[in-house]
Amino acid sequence: MFKVEVFTSPSCPYCPMAERVVEEAKQEVGADMEVEVVNIMNDRQRAIDYNIMAVPAIAINGVVAFVGAPTFEELMAKLRGL
C-alpha cells in the first residue's frame, strides 16, 4: 500500500503536471495506492512538517520523494523500488 501526497499551490505552473503523473500512476497501481493532493495554502503546517520549500513536491509513505514534477517513469521506478 502506498500513500502518495502531492503538495501543490494554486499559482504553480508545474503542479497540474505533477498531479497528472500521480493520477496516471494510480491507474497503473490501482487500489494499492492512495492519493491526496495537499494545497499548501490551506495546509501550510503539513508542508512545514515535511520541510517542503518548493512545489510541486511528492511524498510517498510520509517521505518526500520528489521536488518538482517527475516523469511517469521516474515515479513508477520509485514506487517499484519500495
Q: How far is CA 30 from the centre of its chain?
A: 16
By three-state DSSP, how is residue 18 classified? helix
Question: What are 53's strand-pairing partners?
Answer: none
Q: Select 2-80's CATH number: 2.60.40.60, 3.40.630.10, 3.40.30.10, 3.40.120.10.
A: 3.40.30.10
Report the C-alpha gap between 11 and 55 in whole angstroms: 10
Domains of the chain: which residue ranges?
2-80
pLDDT tens sequence for the chain (82 residues):
999 999 999 999 999 999 999 999 999 999 999 999 999 999 999 999 999 999 999 999 999 999 999 999 999 999 999 8
Report the 10 Å Cβ neighbour count for 60. Answer: 19
Report the C-alpha gap between 67 and 65 in whole angstroms: 7
pLDDT at 40: 97
